[in-house]
Chains A and B, each alone.
Chain A
Amino acid sequence: MFAPGLALRGAVDVGSRRSGEASPGGRNGTQGKGSMSAMARKLAGVVAAVVLLGVLIGLYISSWAVSAPRTIAATPLAGAATPTSSLTLQTVAAVGPALSPNHPNWVSYLVRQNGRWVRSTIYSVPANSLVHVTIYQFDGDSGLRNAFLSEVQGTVGATEVIDGRATDHINPEEASHTFVVPQMGVFVPLPGVPEEAKNPCEVAPCDPATMAHRTIEFTFRTGRKGRYRWQCFVPCAAGTYFNFGGPMQTIGYMDGFINVV
């Protein structure tokens, strides 16, 4: 391939003389198989460090991937004709640093467990039973983007009870949040607290006894076992495109699961 002669042959000769020795600049020790030269020991050390780092990174990423809020079970109601359990939730405008150190200003759903308000959106309910949901709505209104969702669907009687009055729809501009389980066909719009209300709740957890709120109750029926998603449909994540980012796309705030067990 080359012009015959000196140039490359010279290089080859030099090369063959050198390939037997450990070269100053190279990173390979050619001192025979089996014996671990200093270079090999250094390399082994680097490799061990990299492997350890890799395993740690892998474990970290895996644990981050599976992290989720804990599941809160609905409380069974005694003495009902059909098996019924109850779930008490509240929606707040700002979840506060105690419940969410990274996102204190995010809107969120909270659930009551043993008298305390907990930030979780994964609920477990029994199969083939009724679930009675009470929501204390402390947030102001943002308005539904699709006014269609202002009508109640999928609940027992296709109604919700707002502050004691049963109704099958709300004013779409007054919607603050919704509780929707699309796979079960449950669509419940939640009206907001009017602006001029006295004593609004600034930061969670909010107290229904003293602060301005709306109380919404409804009941829905569960069927087979499964894992169903639920979400809010009102654009309430202020500061993002169409107010649908941030908490609206994060489990533990405005989205979650209903585990029917």
Chain B
Amino acid sequence: MAQPPTPAARPLWRRLVGFNLLSAVLLGIGGYYLGWFIGHQIDGKSFAYQEKINENDVALLLGYFFGVVGFLIGLGFANYPVSRLLGRPASLREKEEGGIGRYFGLCTDHKVVGIQYLCGIGLFFFIGGLNAMLIRTELLHSNPTFVGPGQYLTLVGEHGTMMMGMMTSGILGPFANYFVPIMIGARRMAFPRIEALTFWLLMAAGFILTSTIFFGGFPTGWTGYEPLNDQAVMGMDSYICFFALVGISMTLLGLNMMATIITMRAPGLTWSRLPIFVWSVFATSVLMVLAAPMLVSTLLMSALDRTIGTSFFIPGGGGSAYLYQNLFWFFGHPEVYILALPGFGIVLELLPVFTRKPLWGYRLAISGMLGVSLLSFFVWQHHLFVSGINADLRPFYMLSTEIISLPTGFIFLCVMGTLWKGRASFSVPMLFCMGWVFNFLIGGLSGVFISDTPSDTTTHGSFFVMAHFHYTIMGGLVFTFFAAIYYWVPKMVGLNFNEKLAKAHFWLMFLAFNSTFMPLFALGMEGMPRRVSFYEPKFQTLNIWVSVSAFVLGLSMLIFLFNVVYSLIFVREPAQRNPWRAKSLEWQVPTPVPVNNFEQIPVIDSDPYDYGTPVPIGGAVGGPQTAGAS
């Protein structure tokens, strides 16, 4: 690539023209209006409803579609395919040298994409969190007082949808993209442009979801159940478009991870020497690739029902409301394991470092993760236990759901084994891992209750389920998300966090989190349904307690944000190359990580868990010899 002329020589307008974020936004807006215009030209009997209802779903969907296409073209994603079609030679990398501007456009350096993901997901995480704060403010009263009931449903739906869509890539996006190539001794991901594409698709999707409030919001919650989905106003199309884009992003992300891990490992890095985090990424990617396309096709059917009047899910027209539930949860259940598995990987990866012991039960942990992956496709009907499905099916799904707690238990055994007689130092990442153990335990055990159909009769669709999944997803994934941030971000940006603020963040978050979600088990068991802004007056006190705790939880997030700004912008204390004295590959490269990761690709001769003092053969400390065991 030719060096551009020095900045002083190029006028501002020349620097702004080109394939960058500004062009992307402009082309996106242009594409939106193009789609909108085309949508209004389409006419016919099927679309006669549009005038009565003053809505044109076709126009909005086409607008979003062309808008996203324009956005991607503006960023430069079409350049490489077009240049290859025109016969020009292949060029591998784009914009890998340069300043902060690379972070705002298409960049094929996986490290830049990792940081983009971290900031982008962080932004939408906070928007989802704001929705949660508004929800809890409304729930201070036992009937709608503050937020209108229609807007309340949109807030509930947007909170859930935003979090689910964004946090599925919460660990894989930032941390797997940044560190998996380094951990396996590669210079890049298998498909760098697709990697960048997954990020920008997610950003476009997030923007589309927040735009739902301009179109009336959507009343279905994150699950988008038909036939309510079909009945909803135009804002529903934002949800459909968001999840479709997220589904495509997830599929591509998983594909990229799998291809990288399978084909680009350094010499000597056999599968049995792979870091456990990379194994968890692999297990997650399998789920992403197999489950996410289901979501996209289901949403396409929903969109067809809403626009041209097909009846996939409309009982009166020959369809079935059950079909949607089954299709959605066939994706939906693997989806929640997509959220849980990276958390397992992070905890198992960090514990050896902070207990100075090898990972205990490496093969057991891997079979646990792969077992969870496989079994997650066989349990989805437990979401439909009381919906009137064929009664013969329920015992089978009860069995499969109970069985999936087995591989999850393996992970806990490996955690406990790694802690055994270790030398634990409680750095901030370690604190978050300890928090994970407690939270995911509670979440997992509550899952045993709802997997039992008789017990599920009372708890289905109640706040008990809400508490269960918040414990596993927020107490699980989000805690490990922060563990990964405190562990790896000093490597990514070369600057340290302030430890006191970080510890304050952890303790406030852990206590406020438990204070917020533990009472929800009681609320659900006592009879409070989900997604309501009316509740029995007897629940008022407990709801006030929960809301106040939720506000404190939000405050802990502000402490984190303050720490980020304070440490990374004002104090800027340089980070050491390997502050945690870890033995995996990413800590052996310099900080900041050079563009090509390694001067020379390393040759691997063991797994990265070579901690600890060797144990004598037959020693009373227990267990067989060091390397090679289990």
Contact = CB atoms under 8 A, between A and B. Distances in A.
A259 to B, nearest CB: 10
A65 B97 CA distance: 44
A61 B592 contact: no
Contact of A29 (B144, B151, B572): B572
Nearest to A14: B599
B577 A15 contact: yes
Contacts of B316: 242
Given A1-B604, A1-B608, A30-B494, A10 B151 contact: no
A64 to B, nearest CB: 5
A29 B571 CA distance: 11
A12 B602 CA distance: 12
22 contacts: A2-B588, A3-B602, A3-B605, A10-B600, A11-B600, A15-B577, A19-B592, A25-B97, A28-B572, A30-B572, A44-B570, A46-B100, A54-B127, A61-B130, A66-B151, A105-B51, A105-B53, A226-B143, A239-B51, A245-B233, A246-B233, A250-B216
Given A57-B210, A58-B130, A237-B53, A7 B602 contact: yes
Interface stretch (A31-39, A84-92, A186-194): A31-39
Contact of A239 (B53, B213, B605, B608): B53
Which one of B148, B573, B584, B588 has the greatest number of beta carbons of chain A within 10 Å? Answer: B148
A11 B97 contact: no
Interface in A36-75: 36, 39-40, 42-44, 46-47, 50, 54, 57-58, 61-62, 64-68
B96 A25 contact: yes
The interface centre, meaning the residue of A1, A10, A33 with most chain B CB atoms within 10 A of its CB, is A1
B65 to A, nearest CB: 23
B134 interface: yes
A244 interface: yes
B18 to A, nearest CB: 20
Interface stretch (B224-232, B428-436, B473-481): B224-232
Which among B51, B130, B210, B591 has the greatest number of chain A C-beta atoms within 10 A? Answer: B591
Interface string A1-29: 11100111011101110110001111111
A42 B103 CA distance: 13
Given A10-B600, A43-B568, A246 B134 contact: no
Contact of A65 (B127, B134, B216): B134
A102 interface: yes
Contacts of B126: 54
Interface string B570-594: 1111100100000111001111101
A1 B581 CA distance: 13
Interface in A131-174: none
Contacts of B439: none
A200 interface: no
A86 to B, nearest CB: 25
Nearest to B130: A58
Nearest to A37: B572
Nearest to A60: B213
B402 interface: no
Contacts of A1: 583-585, 588, 604-606, 608, 610
Contact of B213 (A23, A25, A64): A64
B602 A240 contact: no
Nearest to A106: B54
B602 A23 contact: no
B493 A27 contact: yes
A8 B565 contact: no
A99 interface: no
Nearest to A6: B600
A7 B599 contact: yes
Interface residues of A, number: 65
A116 to B, nearest CB: 24
B600 A28 contact: no
B50 interface: yes
A246 B595 CA distance: 54
B249 interface: no
B493 A246 contact: no
Interface string B146-180: 11111110010000000000000000000000000
Given A1-B605, A7-B599, A242-B316, 20 more contacts: A7-B601, A11-B588, A14-B590, A14-B599, A18-B590, A27-B493, A34-B572, A40-B572, A47-B569, A61-B131, A65-B152, A67-B151, A105-B51, A238-B52, A240-B53, A242-B227, A246-B55, A250-B150, A251-B149, A257-B144
Nearest to B227: A241
Contacts of A36: 570
B246 interface: no
Contact of B54 (A6, A10, A43, A104): A104
A1 B583 CA distance: 7
Interface in A216-240: 226-227, 229, 237-240
B100 A64 contact: no
B77 interface: no
A67 B227 CA distance: 27
B350 to A, nearest CB: 17
Nearest to B127: A57
Contacts of B602: 2-3, 7-8
B573 A19 contact: no
Interface in B79-101: 96-100
Given A25-B98, A242-B231, A33 B572 contact: yes
Contact of A28 (B123, B216, B494): B494
Contacts of A237: 53
Contact of A44 (B569, B571, B591, B595): B569
B577 A251 contact: no
Given A18-B590, A28-B494, A11 B598 contact: yes
A93 to B, nearest CB: 10
Contact of A245 (B232, B570, B573): B232
Contacts of A65: 134, 147-148, 151-152, 155
A61 B149 CA distance: 15
Given A238-B53, A249-B150, A40 B494 contact: no
B314 A241 contact: yes
B270 interface: no
Contacts of B495: 28
A241 B54 contact: no
B134 A62 contact: yes
A36 to B, nearest CB: 7
A23 B55 CA distance: 54
A26 B100 CA distance: 8
Contacts of A2: 588, 602-605
Contacts of A50: 123
Contacts of B565: 47
Contact of B590 (A16, A32, A106): A16
B308 to A, nearest CB: 14
A24 B314 CA distance: 59
